[in-house]
Amino acid sequence: MLKVQLLRKHGEPGSGDPKGTPAGILVGFKVLGHAGFGEHGQDIVCAGVSALAQGALLGLQDVLGNQVSYCRQPGYLEASVVPEDAAEDAPRAILRTLELGLLSIAKAYSGYVEVTYQGVD
């Protein structure tokens, strides 16, 4: 199963909702594992999540340059920005678009993708 953690800064205004999504500015994400939906190279769930995460990282790097912290390894991608940068319009839109895309995939393929939220200080 692919596990995705969306990182939110505690105590910041955000899109918290009654379904348990915590309030706070999105500041990053972690993607771990493999979906296991299909054979290696044929897994559309893994490919979709990977495309969203890689696209978000590239977008953040384009807007913020070397202010993006990231780690990329086989089966793992993590990226984050400081809350002050995450609050700017472009990074906020990139991370929110990532969130919406990931939640959509997780809803459609709930046995293969899990999205959780982690608060950060």
**pLDDT per residue as tens digits for the range 72-109:** 999 999 999 999 999 899 999 999 999 999 999 999 99
Q: Tell which residue, 16, 17, 35, has the closest CA to residue 25.
A: 16
Q: Where does 2-120 sit in CATH, by number?
A: 3.30.70.1490
Contact 116, 6 (CB under 8 A): yes
**Sorting pLDDT into bands at 50, 70 and 90, what band is 18?**
very low
